[in-house]
Chains A and B, each alone.
Chain A
Amino acid sequence: MKTQAILAAGFAGLALSGCIQVKAPDKPIEINLNVKVQQEVVVRLQNDAKNLIQNNPELFPQ
């Protein structure tokens, strides 16, 4: 009895949701992750950069 009621409610919900139309927006959604990605990459490269400077003193005059 109880399960039937739940099922009925579920079907009703399904029927209702069938009426809702989802429209794609006219403009594409842009998510800009470039800044964060670059920051992570640059931080990860700090040790490499340090070594590069130390190993090529002629390229890094002071």
Chain B
Amino acid sequence: MTRKFLIIAAGAVFALATGLVASAPARAQSGAVAAAMAEGAVGEQADGYLGIAGSVSAAVRSEVESINIKRRAAYTDLASKRGVTVQDVAAATGCQTLSSRVKQGQVYRIGAGPWQTKGAGAISLPSYCATAG
């Protein structure tokens, strides 16, 4: 009886430990992307995806690609629920990230334009964002 309990307890501790170890790198990576965004090396684009504006490590580059793939999956899911194109969902999300997520000093890009640094004022959004707020 007690031995069985010990085995279960040991198993639970092991599972917890591996869970912690497995989640640690994922957190470190998204932290690296956030750090790259703070430096202006990675930024939000009006098309709804992250872009690389400066020089970044291979790890940051691959994490940006991974985030964009996951974003595309989320956009695709929502697009099929609403009966619109993936591009429309992505553009609507881009309006949101540019209007309310990009912080002062971070970079962003609209269309094929140059990377710009956000100043004190609001970003001048593409016309299709209209009442985005």
Q: What is A's interface to B at a CB cutoff of 8 Å?
A: 35, 38-39, 41-43, 45-46, 48-50, 52-53, 56, 58-62
Instruction: Evaluate contact between B30 and A42: CB separation under 8 angstroms.
Output: no
* Distance of B122 from chain A, by nearest CB (Å): 16
B6 within 8 A of A: no
Q: Are B74 and A46 in contact (CB under 8 A)?
A: no
Bound-state Cα–Cα, A17 to B92, Å: 51
List residues of B (54-110) whose CB comes within 8 Å of A's CBs.
67, 70-71, 74-75, 78, 82, 84, 88-89, 91-93, 95-97, 101, 103
CB of A12, distance to nearest CB on chain B (Å): 52
* Contact indicator A45/B30 (Cβ below 8 Å): no
Q: How far is the CA of A52 from the CA of B34 in the complex (A)?
A: 19
List 28 interface pairs A-B (beta carbons < 8 Å), by A numbering.
A38-B88, A39-B128, A39-B130, A41-B84, A41-B88, A42-B91, A42-B92, A43-B92, A43-B128, A43-B129, A45-B82, A46-B96, A46-B132, A49-B93, A52-B74, A52-B93, A53-B97, A56-B74, A59-B74, A60-B97, A61-B30, A61-B31, A61-B33, A61-B37, A61-B67, A62-B34, A62-B37, A62-B103
Chain B residues engaging chain A, CB cutoff 8 angstroms = 30-31, 33-34, 37, 67, 70-71, 74-75, 78, 82, 84, 88-89, 91-93, 95-97, 101, 103, 127-133
Complex contacts, A50 vs chain B, CB 8 Å: 96
In whole angstroms, what is the CA distance A45 to B131 when docked?
11
Closest to A41 in B: B88
Q: B85 to chain A: closest CB distance in Å?
A: 8
Report whether over half of chain A's contact residues are helix, strand or loop; otherwise say mixed. Answer: helix
CA distance A41 to B79 in the complex (A): 11
B30–A58 CB distance below 8 A? yes
Interface pair A46/B95, CB less than 8 Å apart? yes
Whether A49 and B95, one on each chain, are in contact in the complex, defined by CB atoms closer than 8 angstroms, is yes
